[in-house]
């Protein structure tokens, strides 16, 4: 007889959370959902999920509570705020945080939750974007106890192709910061490349194809360069503000560790400049606009 699937709770039904929840439902997991804007849960409820009114209520219906939220402040509020996860948590339950947070704050919150409720914490930030969430091909980097990870590894493999245990709580967030340093710096250089090709009379739409398979190739190059060359900025698949937040996290954490990040620091400045020009909620493919003439949209 097959063991029953663990019941899951999920807080944060956004660009990433919605397709992740769809995959969990499709795999047969009993799923309870909560979102600050309850309307975003409608499609999941129609697909078989249960909806609750507070994060604390997730713990009544779930062995494992998952978060996919905007930033450290939001996670702290959802876990420790009024009617938060900590108010409903019980010893033996597990929290899995897919959000990208500050590593130091993650360690502090995990310790506080464990001492207050006995609930364990895995930080499990993801990489692969909305496309990866829809396809179940995310890369998931995990910090926490190995035994806790093994409890939910089958769940995580519903969402991702690669699940890597990076060490103790916080190690997943450190790894995600490293990931975002590479992605953000790459995105900015790709924008420079596309703009240079355009100004030089080279068809920038051919850059990704021409460089495919060489040392300069990458997923960001293959995704962003064509979008930039064609000024194809919609639909928004991720946000400039998210990259900026993650760069700021990386630079802050690096400073705490006494590690130098001159390139990532410059990338954060450029990303902040771009965001300040009205692009915070736009797709990072819009970064090419930093290097184009103000009246050039194509």
Q: Give me the active site residues, please.
A: 176
Q: How many helices (H) and strands (E) does the chain have?
A: 13, 9
Q: How far apart are CA 19 and CA 85, in angstroms?
A: 22
d(CA 59, CA 90): 8
Extended beta strands in 21-79, E state: 31-34, 50-51, 64-67
Q: Are 24 and 10 in contact (CB under 8 A)?
A: yes
What's the CA gap between 221 and 211, in Å, rounded? 9
CA distance 46 to 39: 12
Q: Residue 286 and residue 280: Cα distance in Å, rounded? A: 10
Integer Cα distance of 174 and 280 in angstroms: 24
> What is the C-alpha end-to-end distance of the chain, expressed in Å?
60
d(CA 87, CA 235): 38
How far apart are the C-alpha atoms of 185 and 244, rounded to whole Å? Answer: 11
Nearest to 58, CA basis, from 76, 83, 85: 85
Tokens coding 100:
């990208």
C-beta of residue 22 within 8 angstroms of C-beta of residue 16 = no
Instruction: Report whether 25 contacts 4 (CB < 8 A).
Output: no
Smallest Cα–Cα separation from 14: which of 29, 32, 33, 30? 33
């Amino acid at each position: 007889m097959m063991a029953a699937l663990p019941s899951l709770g999920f807080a944060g039904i956004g660009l990433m959370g919605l397709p992740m929840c769809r995959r969990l439902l499709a795999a047969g997991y009993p799923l309870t959902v909560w979102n600050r804007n309850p309307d975003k849960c409608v499609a999941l409820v129609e697909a078989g999920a249960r909806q609750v009114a507070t994060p604390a209520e997730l713990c009544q219906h779930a062995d494992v509570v998952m978060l996919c939220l905007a930033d450290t402040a939001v996670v702290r509020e959802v876990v420790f705020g009024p009617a938060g996860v900590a108010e409903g948590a019980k010893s033996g339950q597990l929290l899995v945080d897919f959000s990208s947070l500050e590593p130091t704050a993650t360690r502090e919150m995990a310790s506080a939750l464990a001492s207050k409720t006995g609930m364990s914490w895995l930080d499990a930030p993801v990489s692969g974007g909305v496309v990866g969430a829809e396809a179940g091909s995310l890369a998931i980097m995990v910090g926490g106890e190995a035994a806790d990870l093994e409890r939910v590894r089958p769940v995580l493999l519903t969402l991702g192709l690669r699940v890597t245990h990076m060490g103790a709580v916080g190690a997943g967030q450190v790894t995600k910061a490293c990931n975002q340093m590479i992605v953000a710096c790459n995105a900015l250089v790709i924008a420079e490349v596309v703009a240079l090709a355009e100004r030089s009379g080279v068809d920038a739409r051919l850059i990704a194809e021409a460089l495919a398979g060489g040392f300069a190739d990458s997923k960001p190059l293959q995704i962003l360069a064509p979008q930039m060359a064609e000024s194809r900025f919609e639909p928004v698949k991720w946000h400039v503000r998210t990259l900026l937040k993650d760069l700021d996290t990386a630079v802050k954490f690096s400073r705490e560790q006494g590690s130098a990040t001159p390139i990532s620091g410059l990338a954060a400045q450029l990303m902040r400049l771009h965001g300040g020009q009205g692009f915070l909620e736009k797709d990072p493919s819009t970064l090419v606009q930093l290097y184009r003439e103000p009246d050039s949209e194509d």
